[in-house]
Structure 1
Amino acid sequence: MQSPIDLSSRTAKIVRKFQQLRRNYFPCNASLENRGHDILVYWDRYKAEKVKINGTDYYLQKIHWHSPSEHTIKGKRYSMELHLVHVSKNYKIAVLGILYKIGSPDSFLSKLTKNVETVGDNKQEKKIGIMDPREIKIKGKKYFRYIGSLTIPPCTQGVIWTINKRVQTVSRHQLKTLKAAVHDSAKGNSRPLQPLNHREIDLYTP
């Protein structure tokens, strides 16, 4: 039950009983950290920001980016993937993923560019003031959902993954800025695709 996997509407189970993804976020103080393998943003009061999945509240803990994307759609890998990591009160994990291709700048990432450029050393942290997670746009109403794992050690399983089907855009400059800030030996920070192992993929659609 490891992640990431390849997603395809041809193999997914279509769920017509549409459940809109409800996010209840608000602005609060945030910090940015260079973890060496990625750039991380976390909020000081994350327990007040949540998403509801299958009747359970999952609280936004942090976000980070992978380049190239970890998940693929019909075998296609995209330029970047954003993960919004949520944790419930009983420590269950749910991750919301957004895929990006090269195009117009991402408005939320534009607000972070200068801070990312100044956090160039591994493990360096910086307080970045009030950030509004509602400014992370999720376009489109269709999304994939399956049970997988974290994609970095310890690769904990039982994670509820929700991947937005609509691919959004990020500029080449924004992508270059994120890559330049990460000082490790890898060309990318994406885990290879993992076997599906008979897991079910749901595609929620209106």
Structure 2
Amino acid sequence: MRYSNRVSKFALIFLVLAVSIAASARAQEVDDEREFSYDEKSGIGPSRWGEIRPEWKDCNSGEMQSPIDLLNERVRIVSHLGKLRRSYKPANATLINRGHDMMLRWTNDAGNIQINGTLFHLRQCHWHSPSEHTLDGRKFDMEVHLVHQSDDGRTAVIGIMYKIGRPDSFISLLKPGFKALGETEDIEKAIGMVDPGLIKFGSRKYYRYIGSLTVPPCTQNIIWSIVRKVRTVTKEQVQLIREAVHDSLEVNARPIQPTNGRSMELYRPNDIKN
């Protein structure tokens, strides 16, 4: 009887681990984006993503999809969320052409953010142009997503939007890597130590809502934090990243998705104006 109980316990542990691993795998964006397109005329554009693979069904049927329009009249201003606690550090990184975007993947510990007492470890960042999220219906020139995962497989993404203006210093730092990939057929390039702390936020204000990955498999229950301040980037920098991709498309931004009554909050500290 004791042996049977032990077997049952091991089976239960195995089942819990399997579910946890599966949940983590579902929350991963695809590394090879060639199976889908941002061009609706291709037959595999955004409106068809959910039909390409069974595990991508949320792209069409999910009710908590991203990106969304952060409309002021829907947003509730709060102070209880607390500031985004970043604890980033330099780590080895690789630039990777996934097919429709450029991803910077940190290959070892690059630090974390803390949300509601849970640590979410920084895994990668990637760029979309134009922006995917909008503010009161306004679309911007570019958006970066910093993708984090907790030990139990949950995902949290920080989004920062950019308009045309002064150069972005972090993209300037990565310029040799983007340029090298743009001039060759290589799909990845190791670029050594990169400090994610150099990605500037510029404001402690941010929007918070629950959404999804914006590329297949469009996994839901993603914690989104969109920095309120719109930063600047040059046209040349936006073009540099697009040219490194080699997909012949002008854009790689998913269309705005329905909010379906979801709550949106804007964290505004009580002690500062910006």
> Match of 2:162, SS?
strand
> Match of 1:76, SS?
coil
Match of 2:124 among 50, 56, 62: 62
Deviation, 1:74, is: 0.2
Letter in 2 for 1:75: G
Structure 1 segment 34-183 matched on structure 2, within 5 A: 34-46=97-109, 49-120=111-182, 124-183=187-246
Structure of higher RCO (CA pairs closer than 8 Å, 6+ residues apart): 1
Per-residue CA deviations over 1:159-193 (Å, capped at 9, x if unaligned) read 00000011000011111101111222432000000
* Rounded Cα–Cα distance in structure 1 between residues aligned with 2:218 and 2:185: 21
Per-residue CA deviations over 1:32-56 (Å, capped at 9, x if unaligned) read 111110001011113x510001111
Displacement over 6 Å in runs of 4+: none
The TM-score with structure 2 as length reference comes to: 0.73
* Rounded Cα–Cα distance in structure 2 between residues aligned with 1:58 and 1:123: 31
Structure 1 segment 179-198 matched on structure 2, within 5 A: 179-198=242-261
* Rounded Cα–Cα distance in structure 1 between residues aligned with 2:72 and 2:80: 16
Unaligned 5+ runs, structure 2: 1-63, 270-274
Greater percentage in strand: 1
* Rounded Cα–Cα distance in structure 2 between residues aligned with 1:18 and 1:134: 21
Structure with higher Rg: it is: 2
Letter in 2 for 1:83: H
Unaligned 5+ runs, structure 1: none
Per-residue CA deviations over 1:88-110 (Å, capped at 9, x if unaligned) read 00110000000000000000000
| Residue 18 to residue 200, structure 1, CA distance change in 2 (3 Å) | closer
* Rounded Cα–Cα distance in structure 1 between residues aligned with 2:242 and 2:74: 33
Q: Higher mean Cα deviation, 180-189 or 137-146?
A: 180-189
